[in-house]
Structures are given as C-alpha cells and as structure tokens.
C-alpha cells in the first residue's frame, strides 16, 4: 500500500528521480575514490616531484569540474584545502 502511494505521488520510488539520484551518487563516489587515490600517490610515492604532484592536483580539479561543471566553489571548499595541506606537508611548502 505504501509502495503504491509513493509511486502515485512521486515519492522515492519514482524511477526517473531514483535513477538521477543513483547516477549522482555514483559520480560523487567516483570523485571521492579519485581524490583518495591522488592523495595516496602524493603521500606515498617517494619519487614523486612537487611538479608531478602539482600536475596530479590540477588534473584532479579538471576531472572534478568535468563531472560537476557548476561545482567549482564546492570543490574549492571541500577538496582544495585537503590537497593543499597534503602538498605542504609532503613537500615542506610554506
């Protein structure tokens, strides 16, 4: 009964909304995995130069904005500080 009511009233069982929500969640998860991988490489690769790490960070931002074009501000407040802190710690930057 609840199932039928939710379908009729555009509840969470609405296929279009559920599909959009699932796709958005998958994109967010992909972004999180990418950020985690880049942070792991920067922190763990002893042969990585500061220039190479900077290129990884720049590529990460480009990829994030390709997935979420209108979310640069969100990237800048969530991921940029983490990556900057890691770069400072790893390469003893000011």
Residue 11 pLDDT = 57
For the chain, the first-to-last Cα distance in angstroms comes to 62
List the pLDDT tens digit at each of the 94 positions of the chain.
Answer: 545 555 565 555 556 777 888 999 999 999 999 999 999 999 999 999 999 999 999 999 999 999 999 999 999 999 999 999 999 999 999 8
pLDDT at 70: 95
42: closest CA among 65, 18, 59?
59
Helices (H), the chain: 2-8, 15-44, 50-67, 72-78, 80-91
Count of domains forming the chain? 1
In a domain, residue 83? The reply is: yes
Alpha carbon distance 42, 73 (integer Å): 23
The pTM for the full model equals: 0.78
pLDDT for residue 1: 58
**Within a domain: residue 67?**
yes
Assigned domain for 11 exists = no
Residues spanned by the domain of 28: 17-91
Distance CA 64, CA 79 (A): 10
Number of residues written out for the chain: 94
Residue 45 lies in a domain: yes
- Whether residue 73 lies inside any domain: the answer is yes
* 10 domain-assigned: no
pLDDT score at 94: 82
In a domain, 49, yes or no: yes
Write down the pLDDT at residue 12: 56
């Amino acid at each position: 009964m609840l199932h039928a009511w939710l379908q009729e009233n555009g509840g969470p069982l609405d296929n279009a909304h559920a599909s959009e929500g699932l796709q958005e969640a998958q994109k967010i998860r992909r972004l999180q995995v990418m950020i985690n991988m880049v942070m792991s490489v920067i922190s763990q690769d002893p042969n990585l130069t500061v220039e190479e790490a900077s290129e990884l960070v720049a590529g990460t931002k480009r990829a994030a904005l390709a997935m979420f074009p209108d979310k640069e501000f969100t990237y800048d407040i969530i991921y940029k500080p983490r990556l900057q802190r890691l770069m400072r710690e790893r390469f003893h930057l000011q």
